[in-house]
Amino acid sequence: MLEQLNFIKQCRKYDLTLWQCPNFLIIIIGLVTIIAMLGTYAVAIEYAQPEIVALIVIGVTAILFIIGYLVLQSFEKLAQANRMKSEFVSIVSHQLRTPLTSIKWTLNLMMLKEKDSLTKEQLEKLITIKESNQRMVNLVNDLLNISRIEQGQLNLKPEKISLEKTIQDLIKEYSALAKASNIEFSLKSEFLPLVLIDKQGIELILRNLIDNAVRYTKGKGLIKIKLIKKNNSVRCEIQDSGVGIPNKDKRKIFQKFFRSQNIMKYQTQGTGLGLFIAKSVINASKGSIGFQSQENKGSTFWFELPIKKTLKQKILKHQNKKH
What x/- string results for residues 170 through 209 when contact with ligand ADP is judged by CB under 6 A? --------------------------------------x-
Query: Nearer to ligand ADP by C-beta: 86 or 212?
Result: 212
Residue 304 CB neighbour total at 10 angstroms: 21
Interface characters, 8-47, with ligand ADP (x: CB under 6 A): ----------------------------------------
Give the per-residue contact string, 272-291, with ligand ADP (x = CB under 6 A; - = no).
Answer: xxxxx---------------
The nearest distance, CB 274 to ligand ADP, in angstroms, is 3
SS (H, E, C) 194-263: CEEEEHHHHHHHHHHHHHHHHHCCCCCEEEEEEEEEECCEEEEEEECCCCCCCHHHHHHCCCCCCCCHHH
Contact 30, 65 (CB under 8 A): yes
Start-to-end Cα distance in the chain: 49
Closer residue to ligand ADP in complex, CB, 83/250:
250
User: Using CB under 6 A, which residues numbered 236 to 255 contact ligand ADP?
Assistant: 240, 242-245, 253
212 makes contact with ligand ADP (CB under 6 A):
yes
Cα–Cα distance for residue pair 44/35, rounded to 1 Å:
14
By C-beta, is 111 or 136 nearer to ligand ADP?
136
**Beta-carbon contacts of residue 83 (< 8 Å; ≥ 6 apart):** 13, 14, 15, 150, 151
Task: Establish if 300 lies at the interface with ligand ADP (CB under 6 A).
Answer: no
Q: Which stretch binds ligand ADP (CB under 6 A): 108-116, 146-154, 184-192, 263-271?
A: 263-271
d(CA 227, CA 208): 17
